[in-house]
Structure 1
Amino acid sequence: MTARHTRPRPQRRPASPCIVLPWAVADGARNMAVDEAMLELAADGSTLLRFYGWEPWCLSLGRHQAAPDRLLGRAPDDLRPGVDAVRRPTGGRSVFHGPEITYAFACPARAWGGPRAVLQTVHRALGEGLRSLGVPLDTVGGDAAEASLAEASRISAASCFRDPAPGELTARGRKLVGSAQCRRRGGVLQHGSILLDDRQRLGDLDGGDVGPDEGAVAGVSGKGPAIGLNELLDPAPDPRLIVERLADRVAGAFGAPGPAATGASAGTATSPALIRLAARYEHIHRSRAWLWLRERPCATA
């Protein structure tokens, strides 16, 4: 009787407890490059969370979203004068990244219950953190995750924040947090915007060009389908406190051993692997061809 030789099954790497990267502010290309680097590290078993801001303000397009014909091939700030532009690795519609706190969470796609469970867990944790600050969030239904993912797949020229989807975090019936996911090579990335002030009319690609200066945005804020924390809390907390509360709740929901701090595990943010991967992806996100959806360049070594 001959022995049967079978190829051993590859061992699935368990997800590591969540590591919180330090707060950072960068332009659109750099921010998206770091998010993609997190996604690649997640495919190897890492669970990573970071919160960040944008300088300059930036208009992001969904991965498959078409820009208006009048803008094709032009410089990024032709979308909005004085404003950066970038294409996200996630789908969905345009978002204007101005006065906000942005989060990114990456983990193995088969960890923590899978992408839909991750979406629910992140939203639940963000909601807990916001409520701890006194934000009067609306109640979310039980089948929220699937409805939210279905809504994120719809593409139009309208801003992502124009149509609150079931399952997204809202207050007074208006959208406060917008999120999107992508899954690639065994990792899942979810990132989203927590509005400090509603400027999302600037994210409508079918609208007129509006600059970021105070005179140009007069009348843009408020009373639309989106809402910022400035309309819900008086006074609004220091953004550092907001980030600490949100990081603590989200990281704790994904196995962090203790209270998370925005400066915790800072060494991971400067690890050679993350720096190297982010530099490669930054080349993609600075490409005008990728911004206008002609092609996605290969990452450079």
Structure 2
Amino acid sequence: MGIDRRRSGPLRGRRGRHRRGRDPPARRGSGVVTARGAPARPRGSPCVVLPYAVADGARNMAVDEAMLELAAGGSTLLRFYGWDPWCLSLGRHQEAPDRLLGRSPDDLRPGVDAVRRPTGGRSVFHGPEITYAFSCPARAWGGPRAVLQAVHRALAEGLCALGVPLDAVRGDDAEASVAEAARISAASCFRDPAPEELTARGRKLVGSAQCRRHGGLLQHGSILLEDRQRLGDLDGRDVGPHERAEAEVSGKGPAIGLNELLDPLPDGRLIVERLADHVARAFGAPAAPAAAPANPSAAIATSTALIRLATRYERVHRSGAWLWRR
């Protein structure tokens, strides 16, 4: 995916001269070097699992932004969370429709919050779901594409262990996957599955997005317990009583919830523990449920830093200027 920006051709001057076609010798202290002289992507620090929490939209996005900042400093972090009240999130660069400008989130959907994500894409309705957030240094663990694949693979393993009949992941090549993901990001998040996203019965179960900033990488996504995504569609008119009732009916949209795939639906704590265990172990942590992190002292120290950073970001996410920006 990336472009090798190393200079080609011979270096000027005797002391730096080497034959054309050969890479210059590695500098001391440059870290691991591949056979071609390019620095290898470093292995990230073991994943720290943070406790499950429920919060409103501004607080959840503020904590995710704090995770991104800590990732730039070298941390690998994972958390699962919920939404109270339910929330409509807009993509970072998504334009708010004219009819919503200057209105409060409660005007949009009575009793429903609204927030703008740090990641791109279009609107997502966060109702009955389990949301995950993973952050790490952008060059760690193989880089963004490898992280996307590893997180989805670990989530798939956890879901399969719970008995979820997932579809086979499409094996598109890297360039095709990136191109299709960019195309789909211009539509609603759950309207079409992007390559390597998790689906069941041909419908999207998990929707994810990434962003990078100052050397940090954040990936977060929704694991639907029920499909209520019609309530987050900003392209149509306001949802009335009839449409709201219709949205309650499962099985008619492009998305699918775990309630249609598992009977009975397991307790949410069990789902979180199973998924957290698989993802954390994929990124260097020993087996441990989310409720009891493998390294409690690291989790406590990280949580303290997160609280401090999240307080700063929360002011931004509660700003109407940020939420409804054009």
TM-score category (smaller protein): 0.7 to 0.9
Q: C-alpha distance in 2, partners of 1:225/1:105?
A: 25
Matched with 1:267 is 300
Q: CA RMSD in A?
A: 2.6
| 1:46 maps to 2:41 | no
TM-score (norm 2): 0.81
Matched with 1:90 is 119
% identity of equivalent residues: 80
Mapping of residues 232-243 of structure 1, within 5 Å: 232-243=261-272
Work out which of the residue numbers 2, 17, 20 in structure 1 matches 2:46: 17
* Secondary structure in structure 2 of the residue aligned to 1:198: coil
Q: C-alpha distance in 2, partners of 1:156/1:206?
A: 15
Q: CA deviation at 1:156?
A: 7.7
Which segment drifts farther, 191-200 or 221-230?
221-230
Matched with 2:279 is 250
| 1:124 maps to 2:153 | yes
Which segment drifts farther, 71-80 or 219-228?
71-80
Matched with 1:104 is 133
Q: C-alpha distance in 1, partners of 2:43/2:264?
A: 43
| 1:31 maps to 2:97 | no
Q: CA deviation at 1:268?
A: 3.8
Larger Rg over CA atoms: 2
TM-aligned CA distance change 1:46 to 1:26, over 3 Å = same
Unpaired runs of 5+ in structure 1?
A: 1-6, 295-301
Q: C-alpha distance in 2, partners of 1:122/1:74?
A: 37
Mapping of residues 142-291 of structure 1, within 5 Å: 142-143=171-172, 149-154=178-183, 159-210=188-239, 217-220=244-247, 221-222=249-250, 223-264=252-293, 265=296, 266-268=299-301, 270-271=303-304, 273-291=305-323
Task: Give the counterpart letter for 1:276 in structure 2.
Answer: R
Q: CA deviation at 1:8?
A: 8.3
Q: C-alpha distance in 2, partners of 1:149/1:62?
A: 18
* Secondary structure in structure 1 of the residue aligned to 2:79: strand
Matched with 2:167 is 138
Task: Give the counterpart letter for 2:325 in structure 1.
Answer: L
Q: Structure 1 runs of 4+ off > 6 angstroms?
A: 7-13
Q: C-alpha distance in 2, partners of 1:145/1:136?
A: 25
- How many residues align? The count is 287
TM-aligned CA distance change 1:58 to 1:269, over 3 Å = farther
* Secondary structure in structure 2 of the residue aligned to 1:162: coil
Q: C-alpha distance in 1, partners of 2:270/2:120?
A: 30
* Secondary structure in structure 2 of the residue aligned to 1:225: coil
Q: C-alpha distance in 2, partners of 1:35/1:115?
A: 17
Q: CA deviation at 1:292?
A: 1.2
Q: C-alpha distance in 2, partners of 1:226/1:263?
A: 32
Q: C-alpha distance in 1, partners of 2:108/2:186?
A: 12
Say if 1:92 and 1:154, in contact at 8 Å, map to a contact too.
Answer: no
TM-aligned CA distance change 1:194 to 1:147, over 3 Å = farther
Q: C-alpha distance in 2, partners of 1:151/1:262?
A: 37
* Secondary structure in structure 2 of the residue aligned to 1:112: helix
Q: C-alpha distance in 1, partners of 2:138/2:29?
A: 18
TM-score (norm 1): 0.88
Q: C-alpha distance in 2, partners of 1:217/1:144?
A: 39
* Secondary structure in structure 2 of the residue aligned to 1:267: helix
Unpaired runs of 5+ in structure 2?
A: 1-26, 32-40
Q: C-alpha distance in 1, partners of 2:106/2:177?
A: 30
Task: Give the counterpart letter for 1:270 in structure 2.
Answer: S
Q: CA deviation at 1:293?
A: 1.9
Matched with 2:18 is none
- String of CA shifts for 1:29-56, please: whole Å, max 9, x gaps: 0000000000000011100000000000
Say if 2:80 and 2:133, in contact at 8 Å, map to a contact too.
Answer: yes
